[in-house]
Amino acid sequence: RIWTVVNIALLFASIWLLQKITGWQLVASANFLLLSGIGLINNFRFGQLYLLLLFAILLSYRCVTLRRQTAAGGLLGLGAAVKYVPVVYLAGFAINRNWRTPFAGLMTIFGVTAIEIIVFGSDVYRYFFAEVLLPHLDGRLSSQDTYAIAFQSWNTFFRHVFVADVASNPAPLIDWAAGYRIGKLIVTAAVAGLTGFAMWRLHRTNHPSRLALDLAIIGIAAMLLLPATATYHFLLLAFPVALFLSHLRDESQFSARFLILGSYAAIGF
C-alpha cells in the first residue's frame, strides 16, 4: 500500500514534468500518460519500479533544459543502477557532446556499484552478471519460458521460427538453430543502422531540436531491441514519444502525429 501511494505521487509528478517538457496543458499531459494503458495499470498492480524510472528520466531531461547537466547525469546514473535502460540516454547526450551529463551518469553508476560491492561483496555481482544479466540479454529469464510470446521480443520470435524444443516448440518453421543468432544479428544491425542514419541526418541539417529528437530516436530503438518485455516496460515509451510529438507542431505534420500517437495508444491497450 505504501508503494502504491508512492506510485500515485510519481504519476502526478510525471504528468507535471511532461507538461513542463512539452508545453502541453496538464490535461493533455495526463491523458497522454494514461494512454500507456495496461503498462501503467500493471505497474501499480505488480508494484513495479517503472513509473519511478520514467520519473527519473523525465526529471533528468528537465534538469538539462534548466542547464543542470550534472544533476541530470546523476539521475540517469541512479536509474541505470536499478534498470539499464537509462544508459542509452547517456549515450544520446554523449553523441551531442553534452559531456557533463554522461560523465556524471557514469560516475554515479561506478559510485553506486562500488558501494554495493563493499556492502554485499563481489560474489553477488559475479552471480548477477553470469546468471542474471547475460542470460537476460539473450532473452532467458529464470523461471520463465523463453518461448513465451508475452515477452514480445525478437528473441522469442526467432526462437519460435528456428529453435526446436520438445515441450515449447516441437515443430519450428525452420529447424535451424543458427538462424536464431543470425536473425538477431540482422535485426540489431538494421535497427542500429537506421537509428544512426536518422541521427546523422539530424546533425547534418543542424536541426535546432536535435538533442530532443536524438534522445527520442535512441529511446525508441532501445525499446525495439529489448530482449524481453513485460507490459509495464512500455511505460518508458512515454518519454521518447512525448519528445517526438512535442516537436511535430506544423499542420503539415498532422498525419505523423496521428500515426505516432495512435501507435503509442495501441501498444498501451
The long-range contacts involving 60-64, CB below 8 angstroms and separated by at least 24 positions, are 60/86, 60/89, 60/101, 61/21, 61/215, 61/239, 62/17, 62/20, 62/21, 64/93, 64/98, 64/101, 64/211
- Is the model's pLDDT at 142 over the cut of 80? no
Maximum distance among all alpha carbons in the chain? Answer: 57
Residue 134: its pLDDT value, please? 86
Quote the percentage of the chain above a pLDDT of 90. Answer: 72
Cell of 45: 498492480
| Residue for grid cell 543468432 | 181
Q: What DSSP element (H or E) covers 46?
A: none
Name the domain count of the chain. 1
Spatial contact of 243 and 44, defined as CB atoms under 8 Å apart: no
Residues spanned by the domain of 26: 2-268
Query: Is 169 in a helix, a strand, or coil?
Result: strand
- pLDDT tens for 187-236 read 999 999 999 999 999 888 877 788 999 999 999 999 999 988 889 999 99
Q: What mean pLDDT, rounded, does the chain reach?
A: 92
- pLDDT tens for 62-106 read 999 999 999 999 999 999 988 889 999 999 999 998 999 999 999
